[in-house]
Structure 1
Amino acid sequence: MSKPALQWLDEHGDMLYAFALRRLRDPHLAEEAVQNTLLAALEGADRFAGQSSVRTWLTGILKFKIIDVLREQQHWQLAPLDAELAHSVGDDDLFAEDGHWANAPVDWRDPSRELDNKQLRALIDACIARLPRRMAQLFWLRELNDEPAGAVCENLGISSANMYQLLFRARQTLRVCLTEGGRDAELS
């Protein structure tokens, strides 16, 4: 391995691996994505103009490598929504008869400050990890990486209607998990 690649690995490897692992939820796939990122960075090092930090540049490459891994995983089957999960995230549980929240959402005060809280981040990651694999990957791509809907549908081989239905289910399931504080209730 060349000197720049070793330096990049030393300085940014842990962050890149954590980034990939949160999105792919498979240690082997995350390692492979990071390795492919470093190889691509070495091949394109002469085109790096230095207009961003090396970390930002490597993360950008990694995002595309993660999408490549997701494309290779087209054999995924959508997990059927079982009756217990459907009931746990149904509209009937969320709203009272008068249309107001049955249980008001928790006051998050300053969301940007709270999101920086490591415990909250760990809770969110734990709740996302309980989603079915495809739903979690869709949520990461669309909601957390802010990928365009059309690109997400194409990459995952789903229709836009299916994407929006899966995102709705993911949001409702995450709401339940976060409201319960991530207790060990099985969500997937």
Structure 2
Amino acid sequence: MGTDPKQLTPEKWVERYGDALFRYVVSRLRDAELAEELVQQTFLAALANQSQFSGIGSEKGWLMSILKRKMIDHLRSRNRSQTLESNEDSGDPLDQFFDRHGRWRQRVRATLLKPLDSVDRDEFWPIFQECMSGLPDKQAGAFLLREVDEQTTDEICKDLQVSASNLWVLLHRARLRLADCMKKRWLHENE
């Protein structure tokens, strides 16, 4: 008797996929407790909706898609509960890093994409994580969806329930704050 491609193995989900799902969500939301909660919610939702598994993709891929929806739902609810942030000063010298559309200037992006040597890489990620944790939740969510998950504007606007112009503002502010924080922390670390 062959195995059914639609056959799920919920009793092995935690062992097989728990760590990967946890790492995925904690790297994006920067909160281990919340990551654990969302992974648990993912497993519960998957258990309750096993009949929706088509068998076309992998079991892990199906669980990951549920987790992504849980993360998006969390970001939406968190963003709804926050009030609009106060306007920031314009004319920031960090505008040299971004064009008028809020995208990295080509020369800056090329520099950033150069591989870091191992010493710089070891110093970079803790500083980056610290700077990301200092961003307002809305900005951090928008930045991660755009730069890490590489989602399109339409996808992000739909997921976060914001307009394209509001998304541009969120991304612009996130990039400015990250660049400023990284610059200050990097100089401080290397003094």
Give the TM-score of the pair, scaled to structure 1.
Answer: 0.67
Change (3 A) 1:79 1:22: farther
| 3-state SS of paired residue (1:11) | helix
Query: Which of 85, 89, 105 is residue 79 of structure 1 equivalent to?
Result: 85
Deviations 1:96-133 (A, max 9, x none): xxxxx9xx78945645998xx67644443332222111
User: Which residue number in structure 1 is paired with residue 146 of structure 2?
Assistant: 142
**For the Cα contact (< 8 Å) 1:127–1:182, is it kept in 2?**
no
* 1:126-137 alignment, distance < 5 Å: 126-137=130-141
Distance in 2 (alpha carbons) for counterparts of 1:65 and 1:180: 34
Query: Which of 134, 150, 171 is residue 175 of structure 2 equivalent to?
Result: 171
User: Which residue number in structure 2 is paired with residue 98 of structure 1?
Assistant: none
Distance in 2 (alpha carbons) for counterparts of 1:113 and 1:184: 19
State the one-letter code of the partner of 1:22: S
**For the Cα contact (< 8 Å) 2:21–2:64, is it kept in 1?**
yes
**Structure 1 unmatched ranges of 5 or more:** 95-100
**For the Cα contact (< 8 Å) 1:23–1:140, is it kept in 2?**
yes
| 3-state SS of paired residue (2:178) | helix
* 1:11-160 alignment, distance < 5 Å: 11-73=16-78, 74-81=80-87, 90-91=94-95, 107-108=111-112, 110-111=114-115, 120-160=124-164
Shift of 1:135: 0.5
- The sequence identity of aligned pairs, in percent, is 32
**For the Cα contact (< 8 Å) 1:123–1:181, is it kept in 2?**
yes
Alignment length, in residue pairs? 173
| Cα RMSD, aligned residues only | 3.9
Change (3 A) 1:78 1:18: farther
**For the Cα contact (< 8 Å) 2:21–2:67, is it kept in 1?**
yes
State the one-letter code of the partner of 1:133: D
Distance in 1 (alpha carbons) for counterparts of 2:85 and 2:10: 39
Which has the larger helix fraction?
Answer: 2
